[in-house]
Structure 1
Amino acid sequence: MLLVDDQPPFLRAMSSVVEETAGFEVVGEASSGEESILAAAVLLPDLVLMDVNLPGVDGMEATRRIRRAQSPPVVLLLSTHDEGAGAPFVAECGAAAYVTKSALGPDRLVEVWTSASA
């Protein structure tokens, strides 16, 4: 899994959630949309946890570009915006789902992965 966030505390929080979730492993981290696009092309993760608000190329545009790959990863958008605000984000960029950062936990991660992989 590739973790993408421009704020180190959120990267640490995402990493902790992944560590607590059986069957998942962090293969890389990025702090900008540009870095995430390059990292996804090199690391070929199955899943990307992508912050919506990033400097430069934002998370939605980075997701669009990552999803154009021949075998694209599942992308889960994350933000501090309310859960209801995520539907337009998902529809616009091809992400599998949107979860607020405060709601991300092992159960939610497995739930999103399971429904995206079905």
Structure 2
Amino acid sequence: MSTNLDIIRATYEGPSEENGKHLLAALAPDATWTEAAGFPYAGTYTGPEEIFDEVFRRLATEWVGYKAAVHTYLADGDRVAAFGVYSGTYAKTGKSMSATFAHLYRLKDGKIQSMEQYVDSALVQQAMTATP
């Protein structure tokens, strides 16, 4: 039986396609996913389809080499936190970024109920802004 930490690790530590499959399998049907205010995809999305359409599809099509590399996990009961660095190049501007993040997950019965993102969104926005 997988622990909550194992479930979350499986969404970060493999090839992007495998991580996506593991995330899709781990999301509860009514899971909420909150992208931080100031982040380009800010908002709260509900359910796997909306989460993938509004966050992951956009990341995959608007960025080149986008990744979330986790360096630290913390687990406490039904909560798992992942700390790391986003990196990638915004396709429209050709500008790269590297920004620290924290993701706080809440799980129940082996399914992700919610995720809340904390990120240095200014660095992401800078990469998305064309230089005048």
For the criterion TM > 0.5, the same-fold answer is: no
What TM-score do the two structures reach when normalised by structure 1? Answer: 0.28
In proportion to residue count, which structure has more helix?
1
Higher Cα Rg: structure 1 or 2? 2
